[in-house]
């Protein structure tokens, strides 16, 4: 294994458990989907690991009837042992096609810490998919460095919306367009429903319970467990209370990316979904003060040394738009999309469009409402990220 060039000299050793790759597996012999649960993709987020273990222990101890199989896998085991987000590279940013190709061409001896983790995790995911005939569905459990209400993240597809509807927490869409290579995209790109749940602050005593609740309701949303099961009912009450008055559906409108050596420092006191007005001072880095470029609700303000995203801004989407976009997707008028300005069909590829970078913003919006989402080259994503923009160029649908 390659030594890690960026390993922090001070490694915190908050080992409280030795984490196996498979945290638990359960089915009651009934057909249904393969519900893959990943936890601890970031090593300083052990609440998801505990939550996944506990839910599977309860399923096993009570022999609860389940349609399908649930399997929980740990993410970054080395970082979990160290209590760090990652040791060399962020394990939740290495699932782009380019990174997967690099992994497959590299020999295992050349792997750094996260390369080894990814290789093992990918093999485990593929094995589980081969072992169970049902359709895979992903739930990836996380926590955040800032506090605030729990929320779910997904690509905007009808199947994801219907899965997320089982969880009474805000659903934030568009994150996969703002960050490159999350595990979520790996499954979503292969047509599987995939959801991330952020359960609250890393060390909050509430985080584990919220993630357990999210997992029970994920089983409901996957069609595996009755919505009337007592664990699901209790989870619904807990999450509804934790979500408070945050809008149920939101979209990411801005990402503040941290550059190499930026020395980013978020001002204290921000929590997920705090309202922010345009021009508000949010952080400092070596270039000076960082003010909000627009009004919105702040998401995932960064209060830990590791991480590439300083903060996100999102805004609510009205339920009317949601219903309208669902009707649009079922209307059949998708065939007209290539006649929009800046949009062209891609020859020999069904439901794939090429979109000019300069296409009017309304075009991006219309495409999103039809369930299309961005798939861009890394270079382009990087250039847009440097300009602090969120959407990319080139959409493919994932419905
Ligand atoms: Zn995380």
- The confidence score (pLDDT) of residue 132 equals 95
- The confidence score (pLDDT) of residue 374 equals 62
- The confidence score (pLDDT) of residue 390 equals 39
Instruction: Compute the distance between CA of residue 109 and CA of residue 157 in angstroms, rounded to an integer.
Output: 39
- The confidence score (pLDDT) of residue 12 equals 34
Cα 28 to middle of ligand 1, angstroms? 31
pTM exceeds 0.75: yes
- Residue 118 class from Cβ within 10 Å (0-12 exposed, 13-18 middle, 19+ buried)? buried
Cβ neighbours of residue 305 closer than 8 Å, sequence gap 6 or more: none
Instruction: Compute the distance between CA of residue 194 and CA of residue 189 in angstroms, rounded to an integer.
Output: 10
Tokens of 190: 């292969």
Cα 144 to middle of ligand 1, angstroms? 6
SS3 336: helix
Q: CA 258: distance to chain centroid?
A: 19
- The confidence score (pLDDT) of residue 16 equals 55
Contact call for residues 334 and 370 (beta carbons, < 8 A): yes
Cβ neighbours of residue 355 closer than 8 Å, sequence gap 6 or more: 342, 343, 344, 363, 364, 367, 393, 394, 395
CB count, 10 Å around CB of 105? 8
- The confidence score (pLDDT) of residue 353 equals 78
- The confidence score (pLDDT) of residue 367 equals 78
Cα 151 to middle of ligand 1, angstroms? 12
Cα 198 to middle of ligand 1, angstroms? 8
Cα 243 to middle of ligand 1, angstroms? 19
- The confidence score (pLDDT) of residue 387 equals 47
Q: Which residues surround ligand 1, an ion (CB under 5 A)?
A: 42, 45, 142
**Dihedral sign for Cα atoms in the order 204, 206, 212, 213:** negative
Tokens of 391: 């959407």
Cα 161 to middle of ligand 1, angstroms? 21
- The confidence score (pLDDT) of residue 270 equals 93
What domains, with CATH codes, occur in the chain? 22-243 (3.40.630.10), 252-316 (2.40.50), 334-397 (no CATH)
Cα 331 to middle of ligand 1, angstroms? 37
Residues lower than pLDDT 70 in the chain: 1-17, 176-178, 348-351, 371, 373-399
Cα 90 to middle of ligand 1, angstroms? 9
Instruction: Compute the distance between CA of residue 133 and CA of residue 228 in angstroms, rounded to an integer.
Output: 26
């Amino acid at each position: 294994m390659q030594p890690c060039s960026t390993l922090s000299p001070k490694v915190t050793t908050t080992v409280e458990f030795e984490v196996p790759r498979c945290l638990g597996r359960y089915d009651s012999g009934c057909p249904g989907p393969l519900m893959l649960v990943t936890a601890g993709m970031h090593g300083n987020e052990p609440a998801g690991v505990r939550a996944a273990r506990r839910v599977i222990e309860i399923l096993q101890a009570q022999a609860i009837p389940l349609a399908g199989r649930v399997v929980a896998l740990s993410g970054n085991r080395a970082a979990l042992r160290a209590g760090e987000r990652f040791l060399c590279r962020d394990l939740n940013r290495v699932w782009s096609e380019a990174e997967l190709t690099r992994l497959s061409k590299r020999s295992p001896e050349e792997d750094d810490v996260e390369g080894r983790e990814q290789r093992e995790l990918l093999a485990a995911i593929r094995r589980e998919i081969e072992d169970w005939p049902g359709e895979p569905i992903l739930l990836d459990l996380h926590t955040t460095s800032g506090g605030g209400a729990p929320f779910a993240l997904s690509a905007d597809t009808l199947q994801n919306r219907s899965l997320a509807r089982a969880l009474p927490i805000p659903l934030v869409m568009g994150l996969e367009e703002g960050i490159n290579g999350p595990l979520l995209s790996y499954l979503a790109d292969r047509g599987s429903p995939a959801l991330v749940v952020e359960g609250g602050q890393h060390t909050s005593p509430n985080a584990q319970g919220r993630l357990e609740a999210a997992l029970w309701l994920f089983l409901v949303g996957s069609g595996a467990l009755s919505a009337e099961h007592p664990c699901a009912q209790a989870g619904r009450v807990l999450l509804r209370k934790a979500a408070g008055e945050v809008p149920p559906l939101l979209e990411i409108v801005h990402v503040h990316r941290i550059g190499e050596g930026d020395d980013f420092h978020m001002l204290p006191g921000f929590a997920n979904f705090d309202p922010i007005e345009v021009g508000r001072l949010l952080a400092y880095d070596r270039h000076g003060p960082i003010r909000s470029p627009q009004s919105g609700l702040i998401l995932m303000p960064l209060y830990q040394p590791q991480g590439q995203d300083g903060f996100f801004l999102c805004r609510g989407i009205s339920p009317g738009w949601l219903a309208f976009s669902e009707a649009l997707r079922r209307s059949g008028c998708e065939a007209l999309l290539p006649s929009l300005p800046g949009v062209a069909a891609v020859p020999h590829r069904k439901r794939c469009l090429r979109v000019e970078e300069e296409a009017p913003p309304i075009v991006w919006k219309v495409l999103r409402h039809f369930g299309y989402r961005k798939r861009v080259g890394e270079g382009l994503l990087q250039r847009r990220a440097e300009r602090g923009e969120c959407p990319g160029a080139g959409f493919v649908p994932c419905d």
